[in-house]
Structure 1
């Protein structure tokens, strides 16, 4: 007979598994696509390009290095490695497989949602000669920013699986917002995205997460929690932390 001590810890905080989050996700996704279509219609020399040009005049070696490091760390390969390491650490070191799966799936869905936006909008990258781009980026995949989408998805996933509540959760959200802002600004600083690409990434990634979390929390997690392998990998739960 299975005891409480061997029951897997919940993957998501229960407040993030509500079905009413899904309609919000749909609205955000529609708003993002509309923003992308309107921004694309303004052409490559849209007024918002002025932000990239202004930032190109404020470059210095330290900021250059920071922006390039972010570009490499949150690239498709870098992002996949970050997710893999974090998920393995949570699953095998902390012995919380459901939280690892919840974190990995939520972050992945939010990140990959950007690909739908890229395919649906097909916006050309900012002209590199105008922005004095520090890296070579070309093609019709400017909207939304994939790096920013990854940052947003990671923040959502961390908040959703953590047991923090009240003031601690707001602190976590604040730190996450700073992280997203830094990543988004780095894309403009490098001269490879328009400001609307960054805004679109926040909307698209959030939309994907909000659509996914109820599906995970209501349909998938309860079934996975009953699997023998999940129970075997799970450590003692003890008393649930406050806010869970």
Structure 2
């Protein structure tokens, strides 16, 4: 087995211990419990005041930005973006392992939000009260899927794509701003409460934290032994 390839297949080596799965499960459970508590207030939650205040005197530029995020990071747009990045890593960078790792981290964090939605079942803010600009109904308010995707995308970029500590810090700073903008847009459109977007950060981060030991201990050692992948990776430009 190529030792350099084995190193490249490991995502953030410091997160290999199975104890991280326990920590992540605790965070997920605590966040879901917080979502249940928020749900108990009903649609007229104390948080509703913030969403209503954002609806007063909406700015056309912010409305355009928020609607662009809504559609751009919706299921179709999000999947297209991740596939494009993975295909770039596979065909242009010739990093099949990195492509799979990136996609798996995003999927872990994003899909966790669907589990949270099913578990909590919180109603959306009442659209007539928030003057919602997007029609969103059903019991899927907590957590925010758009924000969860943004968090997952940022974490995948920091953990998988960054090549140095400096790049990680830069991506984390830019990514934090990106997540904040996405979270704000969901409330600005009147379709989520503050706790919905905050819960997304915790749930997605916890899911990614739980996924890393699985990847590092079970998947990375095996995938690095595949001869075809070894051969493919040896032709990659500028090896990490």
**TM-score under structure 1 length normalisation:** 0.91
Displacement of 1:5: 8.0
Residues 110-137 of structure 1: per-residue CA shift (max 9 Å, x gap): 0000011100011110000111000100
CA drift of 1:230 comes to: 1.4
Shift of 1:168: 3.3
231 and 164 in structure 1: CA distance in 2 versus 1, 3 angstrom threshold: closer
Cα gap change, 1:79/1:227 in structure 2, threshold over 3 Å: closer, same or farther? same
SS at match of 1:9: helix
**Residue of structure 1 in register with 2:204 after alignment:** 205
Deviations 1:29-75 (A, max 9, x none): 01111111000001101110111111111411111110000001110
Q: How does 1:1-244 map to 2 (within 5 A)?
A: 9-236=8-235
SS in 2 for 1:234: helix
Cα gap change, 1:78 to 1:237, in 2 (>3 Å): closer
CA contact (8 A) 2:5 2:224 kept: no
Report the more deviating stretch, 49-58 or 227-236. Answer: 227-236
| Structure 1 Cα separation of the partners of residues 5 and 210 of structure 2 | 30
Instruction: Indicate conservation of the 8 Å contact 1:113/1:204, yes or no.
Output: yes
Structure-2-length-normalised TM-score: 0.93
8 Å Cα contact 2:2-2:230 kept in structure 1: no
What SS class does the counterpart of residue 8 from structure 2 fall into? coil
User: Contact 1:70 / 1:183 at 8 angstroms: preserved in 2?
Assistant: yes
Classify 1:5/1:137 alpha carbon distance in 2 versus 1 (closer, same or farther; 3 Å). Answer: closer
What is the distance in 2 between the residues matched to 1:138 and 1:116? 18
- Residues 1:104 and 1:3: Cα distance change in structure 2 (over 3 Å): closer
Change over 3 Å in CA distance of 1:48–1:190 after alignment to 2: same
Question: How much does 1:9 deviate?
Answer: 3.3
Unaligned stretches of 5+ residues in structure 1: none
User: Secondary structure of the residue that 1:143 maps to in structure 2?
Assistant: coil
CA deviation after TM superposition for structure 1 residue 222, in Å: 1.0
Work out the CA distance in 1 between the residues paired with 2:211 and 2:3.
Answer: 28
C-alpha change, 1:114 and 1:70, in structure 2 (3 Å) is same
Q: What is the deviation of 1:240?
A: 7.0
**Number of residue pairs the alignment of both structures matches:** 240
Change (3 A) 1:159 1:17: farther
